[in-house]
Amino acid sequence: MSSYEKLYKRILACLLSLFIGGMFCINVFTPNRTYSDSENRMLEQFPPFSIQNLLEKNFTPTYEKYISDQFLYRDFWISLKSNIDRTIGKKEFNGVYLGKNDILLQKFIRPEKQDMTSKINAINTFQLANPAVKTHVMLVPTAISMLKDTLPKYISSEDELFSINQVRKSLNTDINFIDVYPLLSSKRQEELYYKTDHHWTTKGAFYAYLELSKSLNFNPNKKESFTINKITHHFYGSLYSKTGFSHIKPDSIELYEPKEAINYKVAYMDEGVTSNSVYEMENIKKKDKYSVFFNGNHPLVKMTTKNTNGKKLLVIKDSYANALLPFLLSHYSEIHVMDLRYFNEDVALYLQNNNIHEILLLYNAITFFEDPSITNLSK
C-alpha cells in the first residue's frame, strides 16, 4: 500500500469519526422532541435507567426506540430513504403500498382465526345477553378492496373481503349485518378514500349513510340538501406520514353541511366539555386535519338534538365513524358515541341507564381485525 493510499484511508477514517462524533454530540445536546408532525405520533422519550431494567433487558429496546425517534433530521432521512426505495421500484413501505397515480393503500393482514373468533364471540355474546337491543354491524372495506386496480400486480386484495364475509356468516341471525361493499363498489370511480390517509372521504361516508338508512329505518337526506364545502386542499394523512414521500400531492377535505340548520349539542362526557358543532375548525391548521371531525376520538360523546321522535342510538366505533356521524343528527333525539379503545365501563349497563334499544357497531375492516378492544363489549 502506497503512502498516498494510507493517507487517504486515514483522512477518510478521521472524517467518518468526526461525522459520527459530531452527530452524537448534536443529538445529545439537542432538546428532545415530544411529537412528530410528519408522522402524527408521540415520540419516544429517554427511558428511566435502573440496574434491574438493564438486567431484565427492558432498557435497551426502549433506548433504541428513543435514539431512532430523536435522531437529528429524522424526517429528512425517512423521506430520503423512501424516495430512494421508490426510485429502485419498491412498492411497499412500512405497511403501505404505493399504487397507481400515487395512491397510498394500507396493507391488510389476514387475522388469526383465534383473534377473529374472539371478536365474533364477543358480539354474539353481547347480543344474546341483550336481546331487546337491536344490533347492527357495519364493517367498512378499506381502499385496498375498493381500489384494487391501483395495487401493484403481485398484491392480492381478496383477504379483506374474505375476512369481512367470515364475520357476516358467523354472527347471530338476530344481528343485522350491513353490507356496504356493493354500493361503494358501484361508486369506486369517485373519490371515496383519501390518497394519503387510511380513512374514507366524507363522500364515501355519505354513501354508507344512504345504505345505513335502509337498516336503521329512516329517510336519508339527499345530496342536494347539503352544501359541500372544501375546507382544505392541503391534507397529508396517516399513510403519507408512514411513508415519508415528498412527491405526493395533498388531499382535500369536504364537509357536507345541511342547508336547513340542525339545532344540537355535543357533550364530550369524559372531558366535561360541550360544543354546538361536531366540527373543530381550528384543527385545519394542524397536521392531523381529519380531527376536524369531533376533535379526534373520545371515550364517550353524547349528541342531543331538538328532534322530538325520541329515537336513541348508540354507535360503537373507530375513527371511520367520525365522518359519518354528522349525517345522523337529523334522524335522532340522542346519539351516543362510544370508542371501546378508551371506554372501560359496562356497555350493557350504559344502555340500560340511558334507555337505549338500538346499537350500531361501525368499524373499518383493518381496525376491527387488529384492535382487541371489541372483546370488551361482552365483559
What average pLDDT score do residues 149-157 get? 85
Q: What is the distance of C-alpha 301 from the center of its chain?
A: 18
Q: At what angle do helices 59-70 and 74-87 cross, to 10 degrees?
A: 80
Q: What angle do CA 184, 186, 190 make, to 5 degrees?
A: 75
Q: At what angle do helices 113-129 and 158-170 cross, to 10 degrees?
A: 30
Residue 162 has phi, psi (to 5 degrees) of -60, -45
Distance CA 192, CA 185 (A): 10
Would you call 263 exposed, middle or buried from its count of C-beta atoms within 10 A (0-12, 13-18, 19+)? exposed
Distance CA 299, CA 297 (A): 7
Range of weakest confidence among 18-27, 82-91, 323-332, 355-364: 18-27
What average pLDDT score do residues 109-117 get? 95
Amino acid symbol at 303: M
Which one has a higher pLDDT value, 274 or 45?
A: 274
pLDDT band at 181 (very low <50, low <70, confident <90, very high): very high
pLDDT band at 34 (very low <50, low <70, confident <90, very high): low
Exposure class string for 14-41: b at 16+ Cβ within 10 A, else e: eeeeeeeeeeeeeeeeeeeeeebebbbe
Query: Global pTM?
Result: 0.82
Would you call 105 exposed, middle or buried from its count of C-beta atoms within 10 A (0-12, 13-18, 19+)? buried
Q: Which residue has the cell 342531543?
A: 304
What average pLDDT score do residues 190-210 get? 97
Distance CA 61, CA 53 (A): 11
pLDDT band at 87 (very low <50, low <70, confident <90, very high): low
> Which pLDDT does position 154 carry in this prediction?
80
> Which pLDDT does position 93 carry in this prediction?
82
Distance CA 248, CA 343 (A): 36
What average pLDDT score do residues 63-70 get? 56
> Which pLDDT does position 156 carry in this prediction?
81
> Which pLDDT does position 39 carry in this prediction?
47
Over residues 297-313, the pLDDT tens digits come to: 999 999 999 999 999 99
CB atoms within 10 A of CB 255: 18
Rg (CA), the chain: 24
